[in-house]
Structure 1
Amino acid sequence: MHKRRPWLRGFGMMLLAVLLVATLIVGVVATTVGIQASRERPEPPVTLTTTIRARTLSDDVGGQLMAFPHATVAVSAEGTVTRTSIAVGASLDEGGVVGVVDERPILLMQGAVPMWRTLAPGMHGEDVRQLQASLARLGYTIYDDSGSYGDSTALAMNQYLTALGYEAVNASNEPVKADDWKQTAVPKQQLVFAPATPVQAATTCGVAGQSVAGDLCILETMEREYAIAFSAADVPDAGALEGARLSIPISGETVHGTVGKPYDRSRQSGVKADDSAKSSQTEGAANSTGSEDNRIYLHVDNIDAAKLQAASAAIDAGNIRGTATRTQGVPDAPTVESIALRTDGAKTWVLTNDGRHVDVETGLCVQGICEISGNSLADGTVAVLPAPDGGTEGKGTGDE
């Protein structure tokens, strides 16, 4: 009968443990070496490509269309407003009454020369001619020499005031008797000439009981002139845009015009900031055209003003934008992203995906896209982009 040797069993277990530890160490080392080797193995380079496309480039800049009155007229008066007059935003045709001060009407007529003096029998001048022309448009007969205030001019003025319900007055603002109609005159503050009619009240033209000594209100011509406002950052040289083609989308169609000279907003008469009832147009101009917005304003020329007038509400709200074309590219020219262009000394070239080096000449470049011309560069040709690190392009493609 054999006896068991305890030491032999202990030795076997120790040997087994050593073998297991050795196997584990070998596995860990092999795995680590494999991972390190895979990390050190260079990844295959990726070649990025882009496609040459036929298109028409255009160097455009956008701006907001603005409308301004062709002219503004300040109405002066002195006395007490005896009848509530036209309110802000109300329109008034030639021959209408702007306001009533001390029960004398302030009349509106069309003329380029402002009312600078009392008009009375025996006077001559362009202002008299304007008065005669306005009375004739209102239906009164004038047979005096043009620009000479004679009997027929006095009679027409007398009849006109009577039709409005007011007494005729002489040069001293005193009522004239029926038999003295030849003395009918127009005191200085009882007539306003506007360059164009109708007009719109930019501020209220008096409330009954109001005392006035100076400006009563401001009138704007309904006739508008237009400008387009560009960011100064987009248009550092305003003169460079003069004559540029302008495209303005309005009511489903595009209206074309040209960009003109800088628009002088300083000649637009201001409106009192404390007037509680500003017109929407005046508010739009005041709020949108301040110098703090850092914009430049250029005239809009050679455009169908009637179509713009029809869109007045949208323009006043600031919802109409236009695009000026600084440079028009070649129609349907081959174009490519500028990053695909390579230079070698004085030469510019592209690398096609079939390995060809094609010399090219560049034309207009807009927002990273350039016109190119070269042999065998048709629409759809694939160009290889330079590797980001300047190395040789590898395999694999990615098309922009």
Structure 2
Amino acid sequence: MGEQRARGRLRALRWLPSRQWVLPGLGVMAVAAGCAAAVGFGGVGQGDDSSGTSTLPPGTATVTRADLVDYLDVSGTLGYGPASALTARAIDDAAGGGTAGATGTSPADGPADGRGTGAAGTSGSSGTAGASGTSDVAGGGIITALADVGATVGRGQPLYFVDTRPIVLLYGAVPAYRALRAGVAGDDVRQLEENLRALGYRGFTVDKTFGAATTTAVRRWQTDLGLPVTGVVPPGRIVYASGPIRIATHTVEAGAEAAGEVLTFTGTTKLVLVNLKVENSRLAVQDAPVTVTMGGVGSTPGTIVKVGTVATAVGDGAGGGQQNADLTIPVTIQLTDQAQQYPYDGAPVTVRLTAQTRSRVLCVPVEALLALREGGFGVEVIEHGTTRIVPVTVGLFANGRVEIVEGDLTEGTAVGVPK
């Protein structure tokens, strides 16, 4: 249909010899010569010919000043980023044993600033599996409760319970790889002491040494949690993450043996993921502002926080086969208003990506452009019943209009367009 309309416009231009119009959908089109009238350059004009047939363009438009925005609307998915998994491992509260520590890392999609100490909601429901991480209980132990799916777990809060005793989230980058007790020293000791102080425990110095004062603080912490009061922290009793985490799914139900993968989790920052075609990658600029539109909320601002560098083939393409598939890169967007209530996780959204903006520039409809024989573009200016061709330099094309960077044009000037 678009091509038929464009060809109809082309037929309507036959009154002007050797003119080339830039038509939407067809590019530059040459119009056949043969009419007696001619249009010159730099002010050579034409009015009505002796036959009574008008040599004026079949349509007119006006040179205006406007804001031009080069943008693309793409589909995205609301969520919290990729999920990681938490896997149970051995705990020995009595001996402070366990040969490896409990670790967990939440995706780095937001600041680690949560400090909650109250218990998160717990549930016995099941879910699906996710990525990778670690916790602790070998050779027995039953999972008696799990933090609810969708719950945010902060520093000092339980992720799940084994034999009614909590596996607790703390903040830090060093995995729990050994039992911490009086006499040991290292970065992992400082990390534990930083967490104890953030949770309100005092009477010790935050340093790299686990001394008698630290043992006393640990014993108070264990008492508050209902744990065996040993002054020793087995690695499987704690899980470290960079900040608060959100429970994504349960891999097991309450009543299952505490072994293997238990749950999956994400960060707590609300994100949108867009799989952007590589051909449109110019629109994905780190830290660039975007507009996200979703049902029940309308439009809300966001910022591009990550642009993937590895392309993935999606689909088989029109001709079939991997070689015809669309290549996409992942683009992650952080929503500006994190307090806003958004639709469910996985909800479809529309993201407007903006490449360029020009404010208050002279512009004309794209169809007003003429392709000049000597190269470049011009527009046909209509003045006092005559026309002249004005060469122009063009800039941004957007929304059916084109920026005029240079040319003898002023706002309000009438220019010719195909009908």
Is contact 2:186-2:208 (8 Å) kept?
yes
The structure-2 alpha-carbon separation of the partners of 1:194 and 1:264, relative to structure 1 and needing over 3 Å to count, comes to farther
Alpha-carbon contact 2:291-2:302 (below 8 Å) kept: yes
Partner of 1:129: 190
Pairwise CA distance, 1:211: 1.2
* Other-structure match for 1:68: 80
**Residue pairs, 1:139-218, within 5 angstroms:** 139-144=200-205, 146-169=207-230, 184-197=231-244, 199-204=245-250, 207-218=253-264
Provide, for residues 240-263 of structure 1, a one-character-per-residue CA deviation record: whole Å limited to 9, x for no partner: 734544345696776364x45524
Distance in 2 between the 1:86 and 1:373 partners?
60
Instruction: Give the 3-state SS of the residue equivalent to 1:192 in structure 2.
Output: strand
The ranges of structure 1 where at least 4 consecutive aligned residues each deviate by more than 6 angstroms after the TM superposition are none
Q: Show the counterpart of 1:255.
A: 301
Specify whether residues 192 and 217 from structure 1 end up closer, same or farther in structure 2 by C-alpha distance, changes over 3 A only: same
In structure 2, C-alpha distance between the alignment counterparts of 1:325 and 1:146, rounded to whole Å: 49
Distance 1:90 1:75 in 2: 19
Whole-angstrom CA distance in 2 between matches of 1:264 and 1:357: 46
Taking the aligned partners of 1:324 and 1:360, their CA distance within structure 2 comes to: 29
Distance 1:265 1:157 in 2: 46
- Superposed CA deviations along residues 29-74 of structure 1, whole A, max 9, x for unmatched, are xxxxxxxxxxxxxxx7882333333222121123437543592573
Contact kept, 8 Å, 1:86 with 1:205, in 2: the verdict is: no
The residue type equivalent to 2:393 in the other structure is: E
Shift in CA distance, 107/349, structure 1 to aligned 2, threshold 3 Å: closer
Instruction: Read off the aligned partner of 1:346 and give its amino acid letter.
Output: G
Q: What residue in structure 2 maps to residue 232 of structure 1? A: 277
CA distance in 2, matches of 1:200, 1:242: 25
> 2:240 & 2:341 partners in 1: Cα distance?
25
* Corresponding residue to 2:338 among 297, 309, 315: 309
Is this contact kept in 2: 1:80–1:102, CA < 8 A? yes
After TM superposition, list the pairs within 5 Å mapping 1:95-134 onto structure 2: 95-102=156-163, 104-134=165-195
CA distance in 1, matches of 2:190, 2:251: 27
Distance 1:47 1:200 in 2: 63
Contact 1:75 1:216 in 2 (8 A): no
Correspondence for 2:64: 53
* CA apart distance, 1:332: 3.2
Q: 1:185 Cα deviation (Å)?
A: 0.6
SS at match of 1:149: coil
Q: CA deviation at 1:192?
A: 0.8
Please give the TM-score of this superposition, normalised by the length of structure 1.
0.63
Extract unaligned runs of 5+ from structure 1: 1-43, 170-183, 267-291, 387-397
How many residues in Structure 1 have an aligned counterpart in Structure 2? 299
| Stretch deviating more after TM superposition (120-129 or 361-370) | 361-370
Change over 3 Å in CA distance of 1:378–1:247 after alignment to 2: same
Larger-Rg structure: 1
Say whether the 8 Å CA contact 2:251–2:263 is kept in structure 1: yes
Provide the secondary structure at the position in 1 that maps to 2:188: helix
Moved more, 159-168 or 77-86: 77-86
Cα distance in 2 between the residues matched to 1:148 and 1:85? 33
Q: Percent identity?
A: 25
> Is the 1:361–1:374 contact (alpha carbons within 8 Å) kept by the matching residues of 2?
yes
Paired amino acid for 1:48 = G
- Distance in structure 2 (CA, Å) of the matches to 1:367 and 1:341: 18
Secondary structure at the counterpart of residue 356 of structure 1: strand
Of residues 134, 138, 154, the one that matches 2:199 is 138
**Alignment gaps of 5+ in structure 2:** 1-52, 82-104, 108-131, 312-324
Output the CA distance in 2 between the equivalents of 1:378 and 1:109.
Answer: 66
Q: Deviations over 1:157-207 (max 9, x none)?
A: 1111212222224xxxxxxxxxxxxxx21112111112102x222223764
Report the Cα distance in structure 2 between the residues aligned to 1:88 and 1:265, rounded to whole angstroms.
31
- Looking at structure 2, the residues matched to 330 and 48 of structure 1 have their Cα atoms a distance apart, in angstroms, of 27
Aligned-pair CA distance for 1:123: 1.2
Name the SS of the counterpart of 1:129 in structure 2.
Answer: helix
Q: Distance in 1 between matches of 2:146 and 2:288?
A: 45
Higher helix share: 1
8 Å CA contact 1:126–1:147 kept in 2: the answer is yes
